[in-house]
Structure 1
Amino acid sequence: MGGFLEIAETRVRYGEVEVLKGINLSVAKGEFVALLGSSGCGKTTLLRTIAGFNAPTSGAIRVGGRDVTRQPPDKRGMALVFQSYALWPHMTVDQNIGYGLKLRRAPNAAAAARVAEMKALLGLDALGQRKPAALSGGQRQRVALGRALAINPEILLLDEPLSNLDARIRLTVRHEISALQRRLGITAVHVTHDREEAMVMADRIVIMNGGDLAQAGTPQEVYNRPESDFVAAFMGAENIIDLDVHVSGDRIEVAEGPHNGAASLSARGRTAASGRAIARFRSEAIDLAPADDTALTASTGSLALKGIVEQSSYPGGTWRHVVMLGSSKLIVDAERPFETGSTVLVRVPEDALFIFART
């Protein structure tokens, strides 16, 4: 896909600290991209730089081939929806939605028609004369979205717009924004720290770490094929074990360790090198079974681990276990509970196992 929004070698420095370290990112027209990362990774700085509120130290921002790097925010063809909604408390819903049109001196009749269109689109028809204090959180967020969309922006920027909503409303508004973006065919860049939110809303996820892009890809790619230990952990593969591995051709041979059996795994699609390695996996991607004397015999296509159940609980759907491998903890889900203190076999299929060289 060709780039409609182009961020080229963009760097941002605050004093001595370089917050963005030469970002290169291309967003296609009509694409929904989520910038995902923990606090301080640079995702909001990048969004504000795209919007024009931060000036890059170097690099360029282009929209449709037009360089907007030094243009003010209102000349970029973008609209930003803030985390805090940023509605005018003394204005009605109609006035808030129409605020951008008023600044652009749109004719009254055209502005009124556009406000009505936005209210119909967002289910706000009956609320035009209410002020923000009389609205729920979900309604306020819809008003903020209506205000952004009313000016017909080429690019919609979303700065954690759902983080102030309670969990149930957040799910509803999440799907509303996603459906609306697709219906309108608008280009969107969405900042979030919520992995699930990024997964269900975005066409492509860009994971940021320390001012750099750690990985970019479809939700399926970053979830199933993380390119680094950091990305694997961030995408929910929080169980970790140290291994000794030898890479030979298209196989990774795992040496028997204190808590793992020897194993032969496919090296296809992996970047592991011979030596000390880190293996990561998710709690739900594994089999839990009672251990026996032959539990840790050599295995092809999976990794076998032996541990002791320290705790079990029922969060709903499956049983969750804390399994101790020496002093290390694993979180393991299973369809039935295993007794505290029992020795168990944890078997991880190779396609659920992410292996990286220990750095």
Structure 2
Amino acid sequence: MGNDAFLQLRGLESHYGKTQVLKDIDLTIRKGEFVALLGSSGCGKTTLLRIIAGFLSPSAGQVSVGGRDITRHQPDKRGMALVFQSYALWPHMTVGQNIGYGLKLRGIRRDEIARRVSDLAVMLGLTGLEGRKPANLSGGQRQRVALGRALAIDPEILLLDEPLSNLDARIRLSVRHELRALQKRLGITAVHVTHDREEAMVMADRIVILDGGRIAQQGAPEEVYNRPVSSFVAAFMGAENLVHLNGVRDGDDFVLQPGAAGEGGRVQVAGRGLASGAVEARFRPEAVRLTDIDRPATEPGGRFFGEVMAVSYPGGQWRHVIKVGDREIMADAERAFTPGQPVAVFVPAAALFLFNSPCGDPVSRTGLSPETAKNQA
């Protein structure tokens, strides 16, 4: 085990009947690190968290903490606390009784429980609410009580199973920052399951993206956001626009070939294993520069041609649906373009993520040429 390793998962696998949910999971988490397990429903992130917590046993592999194998240990013997999505508060107990429940089970003296509950109430902004019951609390307050109950037993590792998903959007924004600040102040190791990309980005030191029971990519938030290693990761991190292109590897550059989708271009490979042939180009709506069809590009990147299908205003910028060949993409702009108008969709090189197409087949037609677009206008 490395010097900075604290929580280690080695070769973890899990099955439900004949269905394999987790496949060869290897993950090392440092002491005091906040790690977010991110993925869509069914990717295995909650199963992985429950294996760490001890509520599920892996089909294969090992869980260790501080070099100690805890794979077969009961949940209460692991030095961990889990905050559930539903909070799981006792409705007949007060705030103070809920927070101190774990301490009572451990036989801690009443005066020590009262002191610890009081300290946590101050820390979590619950002072004066100790005598209330959960039914008389807001969603944000209930979340704090559940967190207080978890922290009361002084766990080495805090496990969070989408604890903010039941909060409304406004409260969720403030609570996520409060939770992150508290975790940093206490120096506690945290593993947080979420399907919310923004939540993972603002809270975690490291994001682990799961896909089909495997780790698709892990790294600092800015790394997985700006340097996705696969088309799946790029899409999950917001680059949902997809255009199929052809290109040729030229040293450290990848040269996009002119064709129906656009006028070609040159993009740095930047360490990616791109090979000549068909590629998938992914990019985010906010990265697009939408212009009139006759306006040329002035910097490296990809330039595609299409037709405006719909326009809406979600706030800040205008959101456009652009038909590029037989596909539709999203593009943001400071002004609204007219439905039916031919446009150029420019994506700067740094925001254009290229991946070799799985099938490797050349692309025959993925967009409108400027001349065709003009003729159809």
Where does residue 337 of structure 1 map in the other structure?
A: 336
Letter in 2 for 1:336: R
Where does residue 211 of structure 1 map in the other structure?
A: 213
With the length of structure 1 as denominator, give the TM-score of the two structures.
0.97
Distance, in Å, in 1 between the alignment partners of 2:144 and 2:20 is 35
User: For the Cα contact (< 8 Å) 1:265–1:300, is it kept in 2?
Assistant: no
- Aligned-pair distance for 1:314? 1.2
- Aligned-pair distance for 1:327? 2.1
Distance, in Å, in 1 between the alignment partners of 2:112 and 2:55 is 29
User: For the Cα contact (< 8 Å) 2:98–2:145, is it kept in 1?
Assistant: yes
Where does residue 125 of structure 1 map in the other structure?
A: 127
Q: Can you list the C-alpha shifts for 1:288-324, whole angstroms capped at 9, x where unaligned?
A: 11112x758xx86111111111111111111111111
- Aligned-pair distance for 1:156? 0.1
Q: Can you list the C-alpha shifts for 1:45-68, whole angstroms capped at 9, x where unaligned?
A: 000000000001111101111111
Q: Can you list the C-alpha shifts for 1:53-94, whole angstroms capped at 9, x where unaligned?
A: 000111110111111101000000000000000000000001
Letter in 1 for 2:16: Y
- Aligned-pair distance for 1:133? 0.6
User: For the Cα contact (< 8 Å) 2:245–2:261, is it kept in 1?
Assistant: no
2:4 matches 1:2: yes
- Aligned-pair distance for 1:13? 1.3
- Aligned-pair distance for 1:181? 0.2
- The alignment covers a number of residue pairs equal to 356
Letter in 1 for 2:189: T
Distance, in Å, in 1 between the alignment partners of 2:137 and 2:87 is 12
Distance, in Å, in 2 between the alignment partners of 1:210 and 1:71 is 27
Alignment of 1:178-189 (within 5 A): 178-189=180-191
Where does residue 311 of structure 1 map in the other structure?
A: 310
- Aligned-pair distance for 1:231? 0.1
2:85 matches 1:86: no
Distance, in Å, in 1 between the alignment partners of 2:57 and 2:137 is 35
Where does residue 354 of structure 2 map in the other structure?
A: 355
2:30 matches 1:28: yes
Q: Of 61, 70, 73, which residue of structure 2 is paired with 1:71?
A: 73
Letter in 1 for 2:280: I
Letter in 1 for 2:327: S
Letter in 2 for 1:354: F
RMSD: 1.2
Letter in 1 for 2:142: R
Distance, in Å, in 2 between the alignment partners of 1:300 and 1:28 is 41
Where does residue 345 of structure 2 map in the other structure?
A: 346
User: For the Cα contact (< 8 Å) 1:264–1:300, is it kept in 2?
Assistant: no
Where does residue 176 of structure 1 map in the other structure?
A: 178
Distance, in Å, in 2 between the alignment partners of 1:38 and 1:190 is 14
Distance, in Å, in 2 between the alignment partners of 1:267 and 1:80 is 42
Secondary structure class of the residue paired with 1:125? coil
